[in-house]
Amino acid sequence: MTTTTTKGIEGLLIETHNWGKSVAFWKGLGYEIEFETDHHSGRLRHPAGGPWLFIAERPASQALRLVPGLSVEDTASFEPPTAGGVKRPFTREHWGVLQMLLSDPDGREISIEAPLPGEKGEKGA
């Protein structure tokens, strides 16, 4: 079996304690809201391209994370790097993808997403 590599970083999950201030900051850098949820989160894109940003508000008591999001074409041929670890195997998520969570050698979380079986195309957090 051939191991599939990722398509690189497609997006970043950026957790915040203040959705409004964070969005204003990124809009000041040229990003535009692509969509917003009804629970203080949403995806932004820059008109010049590059990775999307998914900003999600978290309670003040919660430590904030920044999680790079990479993608693969299919889960069957993806083999995680041995230098890190698998925190969670591919699991179906409510935004219509299968997601695996890896940890790099320093313990940072990395998201790997794949289309649901029978679907092709880009999905994002």
Q: Determine, yes or no, domain membership for 44.
A: yes
Global pTM value: 0.85
What is the layout of strands, in order, in the sheet containing 97-103?
A: 32-36, 41-45, 52-57, 9-16, 66-71, 109-115, 97-103, 85-92
Residue 34's pLDDT is 96
Residue 42 is part of which domain span?
9-115
- The reply to whether 4 falls in a domain is no
| Residue 1 falls inside a structural domain | no
Q: Is residue 41 part of a domain?
A: yes
Q: pLDDT band at residue 95, thresholds of 50, 70 and 90?
A: confident
Statement: residue 67 has pLDDT above 60: yes
* Averaged pLDDT, 18-36: 97
pLDDT at 55 (0 to 100): 98
Find the CATH number of the domain harbouring 24: 3.10.180.10
Tell whether the model's pLDDT for residue 120 goes beyond 70.
no
Between residues 119 and 66, the one the model is more confident about:
66
Residues 44 and 117: their CA atoms lie apart, in Å, by 27
Residue 125: inside a domain: no
Asked, for residue 86, whether it belongs to a domain, the answer is yes
pLDDT value for 5: 87
Domain count, the chain: 1
At residue 90 the predicted structure's pLDDT band, cuts being 50, 70 and 90, is very high
In a domain? residue 3: no
Share of the chain above pLDDT 70, in %: 91
